[in-house]
Amino acid sequence: MPKLIKKLIMLSSLFTLVCCGLFGASAASADKYLIDTKGAHAFVQFRVKHLGFSWLYGRFNTFDGEFSYDPKKPEESTISVNVDVTSLDTNHAERDVHLAAPKYLDSKKHSTASFKSTAYKKTGDKTGELTGDLTLFGVTKPITIDVEHIGGGPDMWGGYRQGFEGKATITPKDWGLDMAAKLGPAAAQVELMLSVEGIRQ
């Protein structure tokens, strides 16, 4: 084999190895975090107007998820969350039963909800817009969540944590639940509030 061809093959192989190393390091640079639900340092909450007179607050007590985050490349951040809809808690047992019925959440038929991110855009030093797919009642629709990075660093147990807060407003009718028809026009939209603290794996 001519020396020139040998050199070209060697250079090509070297270039391939370098590129794989660079891109592989980039893809693996984001740390993975498990959402700390066991320590009760994460919350999935919501509020909706009741007849336009007051806010009704609630939360889902059982959920899990994980996210990846690199402070140097926040645009590569990802998150996935699964929620047990049957864990609804509005601090009123009779209302929880009422909302779990087929007329509202129909949680026996649709016992889980989920969110999986598709993109993240930084909007400020500690803020950004997280877009992704929200699945409710078996229907998947895109939503945008306004995110704030609360902070991150070592914890007192030898671990490392990152914390975020997210807010989004959705119209349940887009997923098949017409809240306005049931609770009045003021209930057409529901505000979601997500507080997430993750432990680096």
Alpha-carbon distances of 94 from 91, 97, 99, 104, 177, rounded to whole Å: 9, 5, 9, 14, 20
Mean pLDDT lowest among 41-45, 81-85, 172-176, 181-185: 181-185
CATH at 47: 2.40.128.110
Give the residue, 10 or 93, on which the prediction is more confident: 93
In a domain, 47, yes or no: yes
Total domains present in the chain: 1
**Could you tell me the residue range of the domain that residue 75 belongs to?**
30-200
* pLDDT for the residue 184: 87
Distance of alpha carbon 104 from alpha carbon 17, whole angstroms:
56
pLDDT at 181: 86
C-alpha 56, offset from chain centre: 23
Would you say residue 192 lies in a domain? yes
Longest dimension (CA), the chain: 85
| Predicted local distance difference test score (pLDDT) of residue 1 | 53
CA 175 from centre of chain: 18
Rounded Cα distance between 121 and 51, Å, is: 36
Predicted local distance difference test score (pLDDT) of residue 191:
98
- Alpha helix (H) residue ranges in 34-133: 93-100
pLDDT attached to residue 157 = 93
**CA 152 – CA 166 distance, rounded (Å):** 16
Whole-structure pTM value = 0.83
Q: Is residue 184 part of a domain?
A: yes
Mean pLDDT of the chain: 88
Q: Would you say residue 138 has pLDDT above 80?
A: yes
Please, where are the H alpha helices in 28-141? 93-100
Task: Please report whether residue 15 resides in a domain.
Answer: no
Radius of gyration of the chain (CA): 22
Q: Residue 199 and residue 66: Cα distance in Å, rounded?
A: 9
| 1: in domain | no
Is the four-CA dihedral 192, 44, 42, 122 of positive or negative sign? Answer: negative
User: Taking phi first (over 0 means left), then psi (-120 to 50 degrees means alpha), and beta for anything else, what does residue 158 get?
Assistant: left
35-89 tens-digit pLDDT: 999 989 999 999 999 988 999 999 999 999 999 999 999 999 999 999 999 999 9
Work out the pLDDT band at 6, boundaries 50, 70, 90: very low
Q: How far apart are CA 124 and CA 64, in angstroms?
A: 28
- Residue 42 has what DSSP assignment? -
Rounded to whole angstroms, the Cα distance separating 158 from 85 reads 33
With respect to residue 134, please indicate whether it lies within any of the assigned structural domains.
yes
What pLDDT, on a 0 to 100 scale, did the predictor assign at position 13? 44
Instruction: Look up residue 126 and give its two tokens.
Output: 């500690």
pLDDT value for 193: 97
Residue 123: the pLDDT is 97
53 belongs to a structural domain: yes
7 in a domain, yes or no?
A: no
